[in-house]
């Protein structure tokens, strides 16, 4: 076995061990300093009970619903159900045949099948949802978002049978849920508007005519739309025809309303949103 190599009079192996020891000691001291700092910071922090952050508790004398039907599916339905459970409110899920084993269906206290897989035959069928409300004795309907959440007829029909609609009244929905109507209200109030056509597009030829008068690119969108559905950008006559046709089909199947509007498309916009309560 070869003898260890000496370096400047020191054994190289010993020098390596010594350096490792110094490095470990330095890191150990640094760790102690960090721990001491954390303890000092922790001693000045005040921790609060998580319950104080929840604002959905009912007061003892506060009236609340005993049973709510959620006219939606997926994550939004699950989130509404979680809140209802915290409030001690029973929940009713509606589902299509395809969603019979979905999470929201299994989470609810009761579940009612309202039709086959296509949304136009299930989640958009007011008559079936109203029947489910009456069968289960639900006192309120939470629409979530999309589907019937901005349908004025649905909100009005619930009011007629004495069931609460968890959301704005039908007048407010009509004013703000319909993009064509809400743009008219904004224009009347003197709000600066994006250049566009005041009214619904009649057909594909009318869409191309309007797009040329506004100037490409244009945005074609569903008047009753939301969540990005029924909305497309067009940069040419060919794209305008295609966008109108596809957006109208999507709006009809998603919202039961195929009215379309057109306006100038703003490239690279900065989105500013203000919540009004």
CATH number of residue 169's parent domain: 3.40.50.20
Give me 186's structure tokens: 């904004």
Asked, as a colleague might, if the bond just before 217 is cis with ω within 30 of 0, I would say yes
| pLDDT tens, position by position, 82-134 | 999 999 999 999 999 999 999 999 999 999 999 999 998 999 999 999 999 99
- 243 and 145 together in one domain: no
Rounded to 10°, the helix 152-160/126-136 angle is 30
Q: Are residues 163 and 199 in the same domain?
A: no
Of the residues 175, 198, 228, the one at which a domain ends: 175
What pLDDT is stored for residue 15 in this prediction?
Answer: 57
What is the distance between the alpha carbons of residues 170 and 277, in angstroms, rounded to a whole number? 16
The first and second tokens of residue 170, run together, are 């039908």
CATH assignment at residue 227: 3.30.1490.20
Domain boundary among 133, 148, 175: 175
Average pLDDT estimate for 20-39: 52
Mean pLDDT of 188-212: 95
- Name the nearest CA neighbour of 77 among 99, 58, 55: 99
Structural domain boundaries enclosing 244 = 185-264
| 7, pLDDT greater than 50 | no
Nearest partner of 150 among 25, 242, 255, judged by Cα: 255
pLDDT exceeding 90 applies to what percent of the chain? 60
Q: Model pTM?
A: 0.60
Least confident of 72-81, 94-103, 143-152: 143-152
Are 85 and 106 contained in the same domain? yes
Query: For the chain, how many residues are written?
Result: 277
pLDDT at 176: 81
Q: Is 69 helix (H, G, I), strand (E, B) or coil?
A: strand
The structure tokens listed for 246 are 């596809």
Structural domains in the chain (count):
2
pLDDT of 11: 53
The residues, ordered by sequence, that sit 6+ positions from 43 with a Cβ below 8 Å of its Cβ are none
pLDDT of residue 4 exceeding 80, the answer is no
Interval 14-21 mean pLDDT: 54
Least confident segment among 1-10, 110-119, 228-237, 241-250 = 1-10
Which of the residue ranges 69-78, 101-110, 166-175, 259-268 would you say has the lowest mean pLDDT? Answer: 166-175
* Ramachandran assignment for 230, one of left (phi > 0), alpha (psi -120 to 50 degrees), beta (any other): left
């Amino acid at each position: 076995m070869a003898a260890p190599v000496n370096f400047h009079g020191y054994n190289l192996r010993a020098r390596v061990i010594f350096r490792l020891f110094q490095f470990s000691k330095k890191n150990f001291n640094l760790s102690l300093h960090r721990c001491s700092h954390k303890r000092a910071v922790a001693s000045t922090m005040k921790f609060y009970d998580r319950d104080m952050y929840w604002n959905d508790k009912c007061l003892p004398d506060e009236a609340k619903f005993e049973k709510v039907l959620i006219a939606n599916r997926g994550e939004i339905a699950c989130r509404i159900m979680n809140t209802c459970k915290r409030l001690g409110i029973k929940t009713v899920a509606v589902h299509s045949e395809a969603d019979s084993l979905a999470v929201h269906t299994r989470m609810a206290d009761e579940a009612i099948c309202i039709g086959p897989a296509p949304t136009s035959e299930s989640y958009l069928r007011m008559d079936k949802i109203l029947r489910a409300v009456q069968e289960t004795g639900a006192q309120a309907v939470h629409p979530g978002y999309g589907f019937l959440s901005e349908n004025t007829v649905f909100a009005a029909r619930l009011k007629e049978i004495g069931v609460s609609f968890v959301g704005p009244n039908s007048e407010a929905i009509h004013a703000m849920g319909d993009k064509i109507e809400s743009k008219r209200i904004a224009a009347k109030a003197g709000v600066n508007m994006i250049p566009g056509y005041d009214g619904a597009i009649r057909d594909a030829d009318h869409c191309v005519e309007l797009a040329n008068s506004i100037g490409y690119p244009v945005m074609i969108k569903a008047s009753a739309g939301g969540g990005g559905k029924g909305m497309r950008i067009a940069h040419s006559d060919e794209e305008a025809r295609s966008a109108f046709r596809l957006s109208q089909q999507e709006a009809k199947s998603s919202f039961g309303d195929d009215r379309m509007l057109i306006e100038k498309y703003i490239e690279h916009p900065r989105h500013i949103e203000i919540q009004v309560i």
